[in-house]
Amino acid sequence: MKTKIKYTDEQMDQVRIVKDFLPSPEELALKDETVKITISLTRRSIDFFKKEAALHNTQYQRMIRTLLDEYVAHQR
């Protein structure tokens, strides 16, 4: 950004207060209990998750875990 922003002291109109919807720090720090397992997956699946994880700067194991968690949540 090459142009400098010039701030002014103008009155704000139609301010709307929004209810706090963000989780508390305690809720953010809470982790679900995990259990280590050994699983055999196809090379095609692992390659897909590794590629996608690299694109989104995350871990492929986390993506697989989230996918399984979402599946379970929708089965209830």
With respect to residue 8, please indicate whether it lies within any of the assigned structural domains: no
With respect to residue 13, please indicate whether it lies within any of the assigned structural domains: no
**pLDDT for 33:** 87
* Tally of domains in the chain: 1
With respect to residue 61, please indicate whether it lies within any of the assigned structural domains: yes
**pLDDT for 39:** 95
Contacts of 3 (CB under 8 A, 6+ apart): none
With respect to residue 33, please indicate whether it lies within any of the assigned structural domains: no
**pLDDT for 1:** 61
With respect to residue 55, please indicate whether it lies within any of the assigned structural domains: yes
The pLDDT tens digits along the chain (76 residues) read 678 888 888 887 888 888 888 877 777 776 788 899 999 999 999 999 999 999 999 999 999 999 998 899 888 7
With respect to residue 74, please indicate whether it lies within any of the assigned structural domains: yes
With respect to residue 58, please indicate whether it lies within any of the assigned structural domains: yes
Phi, psi of 62 (to 5 degrees): -65, -40
Domain extent at residue 54: 42-76
With respect to residue 66, please indicate whether it lies within any of the assigned structural domains: yes
Is residue 71 within 8 Å of 63, Cβ to Cβ?
no
**pLDDT for 64:** 94
